[in-house]
């Protein structure tokens, strides 16, 4: 048994790809030689933990993630106009501004921003010159690079970007920050905002049938 050969619980977890709690129960009464343990520890230090590849549990996890990503793409397929209308409305219902007068959505995920912009342009009469982007970006990050990235993604010229908000990074609150910041795309139009809220209202009042 691995524990009898002075393997640590962590090593057994890595090799078998099982949970630490399970291994702890299995080996709690197994005795091992301390000299063998010391020799194994020295060999592990010399070999270095960085040389190890993913363990079996990590491999199974990644395989499942890859499989479900492919399955998700197959299940969703190509979006029709109706699909995009509903998807964009649901996204705005969750993250868009609800106050009257301004259409506004913010997200740090470029895919979400792209979807929101495509939806806004597809289903509403938008005056491109009135679109604005306000960028939230931590100090010390590349403002010009972030502006160029979001401008290319959204199709909104940098000249239509408002004054950015440069946050002071606080390592006690978060360990990482988004290198491209978080853009808020806005469109000042009471009519368009009310039209969107009408769609949100219609979506949220829909009855959802139970399967079967």
User: What's the CATH number where 166 sits?
Assistant: 3.30.1330
Residues 22 and 125 in one domain: no
Cβ atoms of residues 155 and 117 within 8 Å: yes
Residue 115 makes CB contacts below 8 A (sequence gap 6+) with 87, 88, 91
Q: pLDDT (tens digit, 9 = 90+) per residue, 88-140?
A: 999 999 999 999 899 999 999 999 999 999 999 999 999 999 999 999 998 88
Q: Is 212 a domain residue? A: no
Q: Is 209 a domain residue? A: no
Measured in residues, the chain has a length of 212
Mean pLDDT, residues 42-63: 71
Range of the domain at 104: 81-204
Residues 86 and 35 in one domain: no
Domain boundary residue, one of 71, 90, 122 = 71
CA torsion sign for 134, 184, 113, 143 is positive
pLDDT of residue 15: 63
Exposure string for 23-35, b = 16+ CB within 10 A, e = fewer: beebbeeeebeee
Residues 67 and 85 in one domain: no
**CA 99 → CA 7, 103, 117, 124, 162, distances in Å?**
61, 9, 19, 18, 20
Residue 130 makes CB contacts below 8 A (sequence gap 6+) with 187, 188, 189
Phi/psi at 155 (5° precision): 75, 15
Residues 195 and 94 in one domain: yes
User: What domain count does the chain have?
Assistant: 2
pLDDT of residue 210: 66
Work out the pLDDT band at 64, boundaries 50, 70, 90.
very high
Q: Is 109 a domain residue? A: yes
Residues 86 and 125 in one domain: yes
Residues 131 and 112 in one domain: yes
Residues 104 and 178 in one domain: yes
With both helix axes pointing from N to C terminus, report the angle between 110-123 and 143-154 in degrees, rounded to the nearest 10.
40
Residues 61 and 149 in one domain: no
Q: Is 41 a domain residue? A: yes
Domain boundary residue, one of 14, 43, 71 = 71
pTM over 0.85: no
pLDDT > 80? residue 177: no
Residues 130 and 58 in one domain: no
Work out the pLDDT band at 50, boundaries 50, 70, 90.
low
Residues 85 and 182 in one domain: yes
**Nearest-angstrom CA–CA distance, 3 and 26:** 9
Domain boundary residue, one of 71, 105, 129 = 71
Q: Is 210 a domain residue? A: no
Q: pLDDT (tens digit, 9 = 90+) per residue, 178-203?
A: 789 999 999 999 999 999 999 999 99
């Amino acid at each position: 048994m691995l524990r009898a050969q002075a393997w640590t619980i962590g090593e057994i977890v890595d090799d078998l790809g099982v949970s630490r709690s399970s291994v702890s129960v299995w080996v709690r009464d197994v005795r091992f030689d301390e000299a063998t343990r010391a020799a194994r520890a020295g060999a592990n230090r010399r070999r270095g933990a960085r040389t190890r590849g993913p363990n079996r549990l990590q491999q199974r996890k990644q395989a499942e993630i890859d499989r479900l990503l492919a399955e998700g793409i197959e299940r969703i397929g190509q979006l029709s106009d109706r699909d995009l209308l509903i998807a964009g409305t649901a996204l705005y219902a969750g993250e868009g501004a609800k106050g009257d007068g301004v259409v506004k959505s913010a997200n740090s995920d470029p895919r979400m921003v792209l979807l929101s912009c495509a939806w806004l342009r597809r289903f509403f009469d938008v005056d491109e010159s009135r679109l604005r982007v306000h960028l939230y970006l931590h100090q010390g990050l590349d403002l010009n690079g972030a502006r160029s990235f979001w401008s290319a993604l959204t199709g909104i010229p940098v000249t239509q970007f408002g004054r950015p908000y440069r946050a002071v990074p606080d390592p006690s609150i978060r360990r990482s920050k988004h290198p491209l910041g978080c853009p808020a795309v806005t469109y000042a139009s009471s009519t368009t905002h009310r039209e969107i809220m009408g769609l949100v209202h219609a979506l949220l009042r829909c009855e959802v049938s139970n399967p079967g």
